[in-house]
Structure 1
Amino acid sequence: MDELRSDDMPRLTQLAHGGGCACKIPPGELDSLVSSLSGRHGAAVDPALELMVGLDGGGDDAAVVRLDGERAIVTTADFFTPVVDDPYDWGRIAAANALSDVYAMGGTPVTAVNLLGWPRDALPLDVAARVLSGGRDVAHSAGCHVAGGHSVDDPEPKYGMSVVGVVHPDRMLRLDAAAPGLPLTLTKPLGTGVLNACHKATGTVFPEAVETMAALNRDASRAAVERGIRSGTDVTGFGLLGHAYKIARAAEVTVVVDSSAVPCLAGAREAVADGFVSGGTRRNLDWITPFTDFGSASGEERLLLADAQTSGGLLLAGELPGHPVIGEVRPRGRHPLVVRGRRRARN
């Protein structure tokens, strides 16, 4: 228990209607919202820089504008409600998640500002200071400056960062660069969503899940770029299959996922079986089901593959040594997504 907690202080996760990236607007609704802001409604007047990746890119993780032939700016913002009860850990996780959008584009974060919503009547500012300290420490470990930010009085606690990074214009990771014949690599195990749901309901702490969420995607991103990988995204609130579908849609390919090869955190399958599944995960599954050939995949497998992750790993169209290959990219077929189910043992 964090040293700032007292018996009469509410748990952070009990002050929010959801937690982490599971609180995202459902992906189908978000698609409709974003389409109303697409390029057909006009563009910036006399822009100072060329927009390389924006709203019309199919849902990439950040915006990218070109400075010159060698440099481009990556900009993003990400924040969410508490995913764990420890304020310092929540800050670490939220910062790693925000920085991940830059890594998911193949970039390097250089500066960040805090975004904080705080229920002043329910929680002391000392707790907020612990959240901000966690975010600062993770950003600093990434070599990223933290300089100020913005805060509001909010009945639900929320925290995250707006991050600016840099990337080489010709060495970006983006959704639409996936090509048939490439293997599919995942750099972190699944299961943070169901374990966070269990934590919220029971108070049980899952240290492996906390450290997985707080871990940076920096090394995997750098290695992917150095190996010439050019397509990828990070796996967050839309689940593995939701983000795989975004790749398939943008690149006009079919993505095949072998569920038996997908790594999972300890306890994740048990949490699904026990019913600790967020509404966000169920909405993810509803969204991708019409586009997916699930084959023999069970209902629990489907839920885990759609599990709304917080600060998940990178999903890359290419092989990255040290990380599992979980599928492949194929030419567009009948379904944008195909799942190979886990083999069941014979009696």
Structure 2
Amino acid sequence: MNAPTAGSSTVPRLTELSHGGGCGCKISPSVLAELLKRATPMPTFPDLLVGSETADDAAVYRLNDEQAIVATTDFFMPIVDDPYDFGRIAATNALSDIYAMGGKPLFALALVGMPINVLPHETIARILEGGESVCADAGIPVAGGHSIDSVEPIYGLAAIGVVDPRRIARNAGARAGDLLVLGKPLGVGILSAALKKQRLESTGYAAMIAATTKLNRPGTALGTLDGVHAMTDVTGFGLLGHLLELCRGAGLGARIDYAALPWLESVPELAQAGFVTGASGRNWAGYGHEVTLSPGLPPIVQALLTDPQTSGGLLVACAEQSVDDVLERFRADGFDNAVVIGTMTEGTPHVLVA
């Protein structure tokens, strides 16, 4: 039995209206780097504690010695056909950047672009309701937003949070010897590729929705632990891409234990059958030169580790003596799949997968 769809003979499926879905819509790493290289240098602002220098998850601006504002935005085109699920996934993904900085969300603004004469107004309303339900679960309001009439459906949030400026969980603070903990299983892009071709079983769909709508709330508590040195969330650039951001920020390498990686249901089998997104290839083209895959690994590993994750898990670099505390914080919030997947190592920014 295939996963549920929202389409009919007169109403198009949401995924039919978009050329890409979820965080797979991201501009490729190499193109993004080239675009940012051309940007005009900004003047220095002493209270801007985190800007764009290390491709961190959100901007952080200090208000005083104990409070800083965390600001981020994230939006994309449909990854699923059910409008309520699409709204939930997009909102969960947007709030993840606040948690990845160790922050606590305060409120959100909706970002809405819809083909207003193509989609029924009821469908659009369900997308908004899905996002609002996630924000309610996070304990925050959707306090406004902005909407436009667009060719493809687009939804997301601008999210504002707060963090102690002395406890910011940046992506650049990892240390050699730190263990790497991943909070959610991988494979969202592969499941979404199967869904778009109507080849995803209902159990696989349920697993994907459960993962992508689970708020990364442990990030707020993890940011208070002295042994947590760096944190990010794994999204459109795949596990390797976001791990490389940690490596570059710290000037270190990393080693991944492939056998330890957690997968969503049927992901390796679906990847082997060819259900891979175009973003996976673009990701590898952008950073594959910084990765070494051990010869004994199956060829499909490249596609699996570059698979774009939508609303993926937190990736935490922590001291070895703190790993039990980190795992406990995850499991206390229902992240039973959280697991150690590797280690930060001395050397130039590079990832070895063995």
Normalising by the residue count of structure 2, what TM-score does the alignment of the two structures yield?
Answer: 0.90
Q: 1:29 aligns with which of 22, 28, 31?
A: 31
Whole-angstrom distance in 1 between the partners of 2:42 and 2:305: 37
Whole-angstrom distance in 1 between the partners of 2:294 and 2:257: 11
Once the two structures are TM-superposed, the CA of residue 10 in structure 1 deviates from its matched residue by 0.7
Task: Give the corresponding residue for 2:312.
Answer: 312
Residue 13 in structure 1 maps to residue 9 in structure 2: no
Q: Secondary structure at the match of 2:210?
A: helix
The answer to whether the 8 Å contact 2:184/2:211 transfers is: yes
Once the two structures are TM-superposed, the CA of residue 2 in structure 1 deviates from its matched residue by 7.8
CA deviations 1:285-312 (Å, max 9, x no partner) are 2222101111123221121111000000
Q: 1:154 aligns with which of 135, 150, 153?
A: 150
| Residue identity in the other structure for 1:96 | T
| Residue identity in the other structure for 1:225 | G
Task: Give the corresponding residue for 2:254.
Answer: 255
Residue 208 in structure 1 maps to residue 222 in structure 2: no
CA deviations 1:241-293 (Å, max 9, x no partner) are 00000110111000111111010001111110111111111111222210111
Task: Give the corresponding residue for 1:93.
Answer: 89
Whole-angstrom distance in 1 between the partners of 2:316 and 2:165: 18
Q: 1:54 aligns with which of 51, 55, 62?
A: 51
Once the two structures are TM-superposed, the CA of residue 216 in structure 1 deviates from its matched residue by 0.2
Q: Secondary structure at the match of 1:175?
A: coil
RMSD: 1.7
Residue 273 in structure 1 maps to residue 287 in structure 2: no
Q: Where in structure 2 are the equivalents of 1:53-72 lying within 5 Å?
A: 53-56=50-53, 58-72=54-68
Q: Secondary structure at the match of 2:308?
A: coil
Task: Give the corresponding residue for 1:329.
Answer: 344
Task: Give the corresponding residue for 1:172.
Answer: 168
Whole-angstrom distance in 2 between the partners of 1:185 and 1:2: 33
CA deviations 1:48-93 (Å, max 9, x no partner) are x71001022x100111000111010000110000000000000000
Q: Secondary structure at the match of 2:81?
A: coil
Once the two structures are TM-superposed, the CA of residue 181 in structure 1 deviates from its matched residue by 0.9
The answer to whether the 8 Å contact 2:7/2:14 transfers is: no
Q: State which drifts further: 29-38 or 246-255.
A: 29-38
The answer to whether the 8 Å contact 2:5/2:81 transfers is: no
Q: Where in structure 2 are the equivalents of 1:221-300 lying within 5 Å?
A: 221-228=219-226, 229-296=228-295, 297-300=297-300
Misfit runs of 4+, over 6 Å: 1-4
Q: 1:120 aligns with which of 113, 116, 120?
A: 116
Whole-angstrom distance in 1 between the partners of 2:58 and 2:38: 18
Whole-angstrom distance in 1 between the partners of 2:70 and 2:220: 15
Residue 81 in structure 1 maps to residue 77 in structure 2: yes
The answer to whether the 8 Å contact 1:171/1:230 transfers is: no
Q: Secondary structure at the match of 1:244?
A: helix
Task: Give the corresponding residue for 1:184.
Answer: 180
Percent of paired sites with the same residue: 43
| Residue identity in the other structure for 1:30 | L
Distance 1:223-1:42 versus aligned 2 partners, 3 A rule: closer
Q: Secondary structure at the match of 1:293?
A: strand
Unmatched runs of 5 consecutive residues or more in structure 1? 341-347
Q: Secondary structure at the match of 1:217?
A: coil
CA deviations 1:304-340 (Å, max 9, x no partner) are 111000000000002322421000011115x611111
| Residue identity in the other structure for 1:102 | I
The answer to whether the 8 Å contact 2:6/2:81 transfers is: no
CA deviations 1:136-195 (Å, max 9, x no partner) are 010111012111111110110000000000011111111110000110000000000000
Task: Give the corresponding residue for 1:345.
Answer: none
Distance 1:61-1:275 versus aligned 2 partners, 3 A rule: same
| Residue identity in the other structure for 1:25 | I
Task: Give the corresponding residue for 2:302.
Answer: 302
Distance 1:59-1:262 versus aligned 2 partners, 3 A rule: same
The answer to whether the 8 Å contact 1:74/1:166 transfers is: yes
